[in-house]
Structure 1
Amino acid sequence: MVLAESLELLKNQTLCVTYPDKRIFSGYDIKEVVSSGVFEGCSLVSNPSTLIPNPSLRCFCTNTTTVKRKSQVQYPLQFQEKSPQRNLIAVSCLLKKYGFPALELTNFLKKNRRLLNLDPAKIENSLKILLSLKPSQEFLVSMISSCPRVLEYDAIKKWEGCMRGFEEGSNLSSLAIRNILEVSMKFELDYDCVLGSLKCLKDLGVSDITLNKVLETHPMVITMSADKVRDSFEFVVDAFGIGNVEFDRILRVYPAVLVYGFQNKFKRLLDEFRALGFNMEVVKKQLLRDPRILAFEFGELSRCLELLKSLKCREAIKKDIFQDGAFKAGYEVKLRVDCLRNHGITLRDAYSVLWKEPRVILYSLDDVERKIEFLLHVMKFDIQCLVEVPEYLGVNFDKHILPRFKVIDHLRSIGGLGDEVGLRELIKPSRVKFYNLYVKPYPECESMYARFSRDTEARSQHPVGMWKLFIPQNNPKSRVDIMNIKSYMDSLA
């Protein structure tokens, strides 16, 4: 009876529906509420001024006992016409239709809820524009994932003509196009300025391969105006005395040469090279051989050369290090220092490793990387072990490191080691000592070590019969020589 009277009083009024889960939904017609049959567990109020506050529930209601019941309704009775929930299914189906992974769709929409406020028809138009730029599903998915704003039709429409106009004379990769759109929308760049910068690079003779390399690794170049791009180009050409073709190769290997503001750094580098006694011909030769020498920081080459001068090693090793000149030797030191630092070794320790073990400079970077990866992932040692045992990087991997590790790993698996063998005990001992300690007592290790294996045939160091060439010639003695020898012996008697 109470419910019927309440409905009669509120027949043509707006309702405020309060649920026990502490949410209030208002604006529903009484007829819709009655027909839905969701009264159980909720209270209906006609006049907000008569609401009674309930601090424990942090909401207003007329009957607090009814609010405490469990509600069977967890969501609003109906969605608004333009609510985000209405677009959820439409946007999800649209993205699935164009190849967006279903497993990633939930997290993607959760992070980009504003897409649910967009018109699905306009989103589809944006997807069609992206496919017209690069007809690839992989490009489309990566573009949407990295920059969801491209789904806004007003934002992508103005870039359609710009990208198509530039692609007429060049062949941009998918990553290059993605970087251009991502940077442009992030910094709200004017498409005329971006188009001017790209056309300036083409006018300077930059090839399509180089342009793609620049846009893939340093897309921030499009934030520079055409005048700044041209100034950077002219500075490098004049400072190092190179041509357009040579500049294209330098830009392909080291795209950061175009970054505006590097001119001051390059000037200081040139001054340092001259102070160290290198003329421009030497610098230009090294630049064309490897343009990454421009990545030198001011004072870095000086420190590398000081390290080389203070080396205490055999002259043969030092001669091999300086075989291609001091500039190239200093640059090789820098590359290996950077390699060690990338793996977590400090700058000071990296220089210390090279000073203690200069043979590292003679090994290629790929070989050094191979040794470090083997140390970390196979041998399970910490990178700091190289600071304590730098000799690990100075020995041959296939002849020294790998055979010894196989022997130790086998003995460890069968329990043949009394104490744990560290990196120092693995690398430091001589071949004979390591053989006597770990190989000789275990015949099955002979084939692993191979250096002193009994099955291995010993090869002579010299061809057979070569010793005859070292016998001194026996010159015939004349009569005069015999008389001289006799007279000399008589004098001694």
Structure 2
Amino acid sequence: MLASICRRRLLFRIHQIPGGGGGGGGGGTNPLQSIPPARNSYSSSAVADVSNSEPCPDTVSYLISCGLSPTAAAAATTGQRLRICSTDKADAVCALLRHYGFANADIIRTLRSAPSILIVDPERILRPKLDFLASLGLEPRKIASAPFLLERSLDKRLVPSMQFLRGIIGSDDGLRLGFSRAPRALMAGVDKNMRPVVETLRRCGLTDAAISKLLVIHMGMLMASPDRIREVFDELKEIGMCISDSRFLYCFRAMCSLKRGTWRRKLELFQSFGVSEGEVLQAFKTQPTIVLSADESIKRKVRFLLDELKLGMTDIMLHPVILGYSLDKCILPRCAVLTVLMREGKIQRDIKLLQALLGSSRIFSTRYVLRHANDVPDVVKAYEGKIKFENFIQ
């Protein structure tokens, strides 16, 4: 509710930001005229001078009272010369975060990485930033995942970044969606990060419409260097991907998230299961996210598909979307449902398992859970993880 109110309060100002079109969208007036200027993130008088890098005991105790573990509290303050001189101000900061919808877990996560917000003026400094972030549709849990946003200057960093990107992306919905996927993108500077990235993408051949779509898909790429961007374009060209391919942006997003050495290691990992590089590359083009999982997660998932489902690696590569599913949260519960239905004679034991497992949660639930829930209540328990998958009885 609060985020909705803030969004309505500020949205008409966001619309006043000039479009960037082909010029980068860096100009325009401050869209948040009514918000008091955040001249400095902190008042220098609010922080006592700590002569060494040892954490302040009283500050550590306060962080522990907020829910941080003793180890996390000490780590959060070590080397920061941070001392809470007024617990009243710190209490007001925590109260303000709760007022904006921060759960205890969100506050703990925020203070673990950005404890210095406890010494800012909650009304003059912090509230305008929270209003601004809420106007973008950022939920508290998203802000907590990038708490350094609350340490950035509103007028000098956050608003100019939003102005620039509003001109590139064009729509408020796209802007909010992009930020919700990568809140830390607002930490990028316009001149140091954003403009060089956008100009590099243009020089590499992307249209403004494609750049807009790419930023919505993966706004975090604004933190990438122009050199890495050019390198990714070259790598995609080497594997036969062209800019006009509808899958290009998704492949670009995935590869840009990896270092070059990591990309080669992922290819070799899949090849170690007996498929050719060409098969792996084709699977990547179909489902780019297969290279983003941790190596151990890939190994565990592939071994399950090979050993329990008795699939061939070529079949897996032909349907790589299965590799994007969580083994514990998706594949295993679905397998448990299928074993229950096999046991009750509702489906044949020779069902094509891969085809049965594929599809959205809604499709699978409708086809195998809801259809049989009255006759076989155990399918609901299996889908909820209360009945664990053991094996397919042949």
Q: Give the alignment's TM-score, normalised by structure 1.
A: 0.40
Name the one with the larger strand percent. 1
Larger-gyration structure (1/2): 1
Q: Give the alignment's TM-score, normalised by structure 2.
A: 0.48
